[in-house]
Amino acid sequence: MHLIKRTALVCVLLGLGFLALGNTSAGKYDYMKRFTKVFDLVRDEYVRDIPNEDLMDGAVKGMLQSLDPHSAFLSKNEFKEMRETTTGEFFGVGIELSTENNQLIVVSPIEDTPAFKAGVKSGDLILAVDGQPTQDMSSQEAVSKIRGPKGSEVELLILHKDSKKPQEIKIIRDAIPLISVKSRFLDEDGFLWVRLTRFSERTTEELLEGIKNMSKKAPIKGIVLDLRNNPGGLLNQAVSVSDVFLKRDSIVSIRGRGGKVAQNFEAKANATDVVCPMVVLINSGTASASEIVAGALQDQSRAVVLGERSFGKGSVQNVIPLEDGSAVKLTIALYYTPKGRSIQAEGIEPDIVVPFEVPSEDAAKLPRFNSPREKDLSRHIENGSKGKIDKDKADSEKGTVVANKNATDKNATDKNAPEPKLVEEETQTYLTKDNQLRMGLQMVRGLPKITEIRAK
C-alpha cells in the first residue's frame, strides 16, 4: 500500500515537471518508463535486497534535494522533529543547518544552546556526526542524528571557514529553549535591547509581554531590535512581529511561479503598536523570517538597519503532510519586501554597514571570516531581478555608511558616569565587547533628533 502511495506521489511530481517543460503526453510516459526501468533494475539486480519502500523513499528524496537547498522529503520522525522545533520542547545542540555543495553548513547557532556555548559559528562546515561523514547527507537527516536524549553526547567534526584542519567538538545535548525573546535596558535613559533568537509559535506574545514588563520599570525611549544570528522560523510570527512596530501598509508579499502575487500581508493599527525610535541589527546569520522583519521595517522607514548583509534566504517552503505520516517540504514562492525587493540570494543590505569587530583580547581565539550566504549554496534559487545591481552605485544611492570603530569606542563607556539603575552588570559587558550593539545604542539615541531635523 505504501508503495502505491509513493508511486502516485512520484508520478504527480514528475508530471508537474513535464508540464512545466511543455512535454507531450507521450513524453511523460517515456520518462516514467525510464524511472520504472531503473526501479526494476535496482530491485532485481542490486547486490543487496532493498525494500520497495526504501527505494521509493530514496527516489523521492533525490528528486526534492535536486531542486534547491530547502526542498526535502521528511520521514515520519523528521516531520515530527520539525514540528517540535516550533511548538514543543526537544533535545539537541541548537543549530540551524543548510547545505552547500553537498556539505552541511551552519546557518546560525541558536543563542544560549549547547552549540552556541561550545563555539559553533555561522558558516562552519560539519564534516561528520559521531564519526559518520555528512557528505550528501540532507540537513534534515543531520538534524535527526544530532538530536538525542538530554545529557547524551554527540561529536561533531567541524571545519571553520579560515581553518585548514577540522576540529572535533564534543557537545552534551540539552533541552533547546523555545523562549525566543530577551529584553534588557542598555542604559538608564530607557533605551531597550530586544533580542529575537528565532520565530516560534509564541514569539509575538513573548515580545509584547517583554515590552510591557520593561515599560513598567521605566518609559521606553527607543529600541535596538537585535536579529543577528536569528535563523528564522514561522512566517505568521514574522508578520505579527512586524505588525507590532508598523501601523499600516505592506509587510511582505509572496510571489509564486511566473512572479504572480500569491499573498500580500498588510500591517493593521493595533492598541499594542510600539511607536518609539528603532534600530535593527542584522548579520550574515540573519535569515528567512528575520529578514522579512528587517526588510519591512527598512522599506517602511520605520527603523534604521545596522550591521552586515543578511543571509538571503527569501524562499517560501510549504510543508505538505502525506497520509503515512511523512511530509514533503517544497519551495513554492519567493518573499518580497514592501518595495518589491526579493530577499532571495541577495539578503538585506543595512543602511549603515558596521562589520563586527572581535575584541582585541579575543582576536586570537575568534578568527574573522566571511560567512557564506544563500547565494553561495549549491542549487540556490536565483533572485530573478533583471540585471546585476552595481554594488558601489547602490551603496552610494542608499547612503551606506561604513562606521568608524574608533569613533564608537570613544563613547562606549564613561567611567565617571553614575552607575545605571536599570542596567545589569552583564549588559555593560556586552556593550564593551559588541561594537555593533554600541553603535545601535548610539544611533537610536540620535534618531529623534534626526527626525526633527528632517521635519524642518
3-state secondary structure 374-402: HHHCCCCCCCCCCCCCCHHHHHHHHCCEE
DSSP character for 233?
B
Q: Collapse the DSSP code of 275 into the 3-class scheme (helix H, G, I; strand E, B; otherwise coil) and give the result.
A: coil
Name the active-site residue from 313, 326, 342, 434: 313
> Residues 196-213: what's their mean pLDDT?
94
Residue 359 Cα to chain centre, angstroms: 26
Arithmetic mean of pLDDT over the chain: 83
Q: What element of type H or E holds 27?
A: helix 25-45
| Residue pair 267/249 in contact by the 8 Å Cβ criterion | yes
* 392 has a pLDDT exceeding 70: no
CA distance 326 to 240: 29
Q: Collapse the DSSP code of 154 into the 3-class scheme (helix H, G, I; strand E, B; otherwise coil) and give the result.
A: strand
Residue with cell 529584553: 183
Q: Over pLDDT 90: what percentage of the chain? A: 56
pLDDT value at residue 98: 83
* 455 has a pLDDT exceeding 90: no
| Beta strand 304-307 pairing with 315-321 | unpaired
CA distance 110 to 198: 8
Name the active-site residue from 226, 299, 351, 434: 299
Residue 362 is a catalytic residue: no
Among residues 394, 240, 234, 367, the alpha carbon closest in space to that of 309 is found at 394
400-404 — which CB contacts under 8 Å span 24+ positions? 400/349, 400/350, 400/351, 400/352, 400/353, 401/351, 401/352, 401/353, 402/353, 402/354, 402/355, 403/352, 403/353, 403/354, 403/439
Q: What element of type H or E holds 215?
A: helix 203-217
CA distances from 85 to 110, 115, 353 (A): 12, 16, 32
What does the pLDDT look like over 413-424, one tens digit per residue?
Answer: 455 545 546 899
* 59 has a pLDDT exceeding 90: yes
pTM: 0.74
Sign of CA dihedral 289, 292, 293, 294: positive
> Residues 383-402: what's their mean pLDDT?
47
| Residue pair 266/249 in contact by the 8 Å Cβ criterion | yes
* 169 has a pLDDT exceeding 90: yes
> Residues 113-127: what's their mean pLDDT?
91
Residue 299 Cα to chain centre, angstroms: 19
* 267 has a pLDDT exceeding 80: yes
Residue 339 is a catalytic residue: no
Helix axes 52-65, 2-21, angle to 10 degrees: 30
What does the pLDDT look like over 67-102, one tens digit per residue?
Answer: 998 999 999 988 988 887 766 567 899 998 888 777
Residue with cell 493595533: 270
Give the residue, 370 or 232, on which the prediction is more confident: 232
Residue 288 is a catalytic residue: yes
The strand pairing partners of 223, in sequence order, are 192, 278
* 308 has a pLDDT exceeding 80: yes
Name the active-site residue from 180, 250, 284, 288: 288
Rg (CA), the chain: 24
pLDDT value at residue 367: 36
Q: What element of type H or E holds 32?
A: helix 25-45
The strand pairing partners of 125, in sequence order, are 105, 159
* 157 has a pLDDT exceeding 60: yes
